[in-house]
């Protein structure tokens, strides 16, 4: 048994181990949860901006549960690595936990203030502070997604700067390019081919889309970037193209 497990750990990739865990291999799952505790603690610490004690901090427990959840929900079809996906899941779950704890603190603070009117602060100021906190949290989410997207783009030899240069200037042209990207994304075989090869199969697309070969060639980098965006765990960034081409 030990030899078999050791063999599975050393002869298979991380993504393959995750797949085995998803299929019910609890030994592999427990191995991953133990092996990646430093990774989990590091990402939790980045959210909390302090050292995280794995034995006593509730935030680490949230991160551990999030990593376990990431194992169950990860799909290599998205085009991102498991650790990139897990990092986002961990940070989002910890931020949600902190946000909920903050809400409880705000509610408790308001109750306490109403009980003691002499020490009561202006409730509208408390609400404003809460809204400010939520805006800051969402801004943090966006920054994390942008950083992850930049890393993913580099794997395909793309950059934000280049995207601004090749992005279609007119809205109709951009919407048309996004529509092509969505058609690629929704076709599993075509999506996998694009993400694996890192380029658009122009010949395969000509008969499937309503744009010319010349237009596909001109917008190929932008379309590729949109396919990458749609295939990743980018909740906030995807808002910018939500509804287009659907």
pLDDT, tens digit, for every residue of 28-66?
999 999 999 988 998 888 888 888 888 888 899 999 999
Residue 226 included in any domain: yes
Residue 124 and residue 173 share a domain: no
Q: Is residue 112 predicted with pLDDT exceeding 60?
A: no
Please count the structural domains in the chain: 3
Residue 9 and residue 47 share a domain: yes
User: Which pLDDT band holds residue 111 (cuts at 50, 70, 90)?
Assistant: very low
Residue 235 and residue 178 share a domain: yes
Residue 193 included in any domain: yes
Residue 211 and residue 187 share a domain: yes
User: Which pLDDT band holds residue 1 (cuts at 50, 70, 90)?
Assistant: very low
Does the predicted TM-score (pTM) go above 0.85?
no
| Residues spanned by the domain of 201 | 160-241
Query: Residue 235 has what pLDDT?
Result: 74
How far apart (Å, rounded) are the C-alpha atoms in residues 126 and 132? 10
Residue 165 and residue 128 share a domain: no
Q: Is residue 144 predicted with pLDDT exceeding 50?
A: yes
pLDDT, tens digit, for every residue of 177-218?
999 999 898 888 888 888 888 888 888 888 888 888 898 889
Query: Residue 10 has what pLDDT?
Result: 46
Residue 27 included in any domain: yes
Query: Residue 244 has what pLDDT?
Result: 61
Residue 165 and residue 132 share a domain: no
Residue 235 and residue 173 share a domain: yes
Residue 62 and residue 7 share a domain: yes
pLDDT, tens digit, for every residue of 65-106?
999 999 998 887 666 688 888 888 898 888 888 877 766 554
Residue 138 included in any domain: yes
Residue 186 included in any domain: yes
């Amino acid at each position: 048994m030990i030899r078999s497990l050791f063999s599975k750990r050393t002869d298979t990739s991380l993504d393959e181990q995750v797949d085995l865990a998803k299929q019910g291999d609890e030994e592999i799952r427990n191995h991953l949860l133990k092996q990646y505790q430093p990774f989990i603690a590091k990402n939790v610490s980045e959210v909390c901006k302090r050292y995280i004690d794995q034995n006593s901090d509730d935030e680490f427990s949230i991160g551990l549960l999030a990593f376990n959840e990431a194992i169950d929900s990860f799909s290599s079809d998205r085009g991102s690595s498991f650790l990139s996906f897990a990092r986002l899941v961990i940070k989002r779950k910890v931020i949600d936990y902190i946000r909920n704890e903050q809400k409880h603190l705000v509610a408790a603070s308001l109750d306490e203030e109403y009980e003691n009117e002499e020490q009561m602060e202006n409730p509208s100021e408390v609400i404003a502070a809460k809204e400010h906190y939520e805006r800051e949290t969402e801004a943090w989410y966006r920054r994390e997604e942008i950083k992850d997207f930049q890393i993913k783009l580099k794997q395909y030899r793309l950059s934000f700067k280049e995207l601004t240069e090749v992005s279609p200037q007119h809205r109709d042209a951009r919407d048309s390019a996004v529509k092509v990207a969505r058609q690629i994304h929704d076709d599993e075989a075509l999506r996998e081919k694009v993400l694996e090869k890192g380029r658009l199969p122009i010949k395969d697309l000509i008969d499937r889309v309503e744009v010319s070969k010349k237009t596909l060639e001109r917008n190929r980098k932008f379309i590729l970037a949109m396919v990458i965006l749609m295939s990743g765990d980018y909740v906030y960034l995807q808002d910018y193209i939500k509804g287009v081409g659907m």
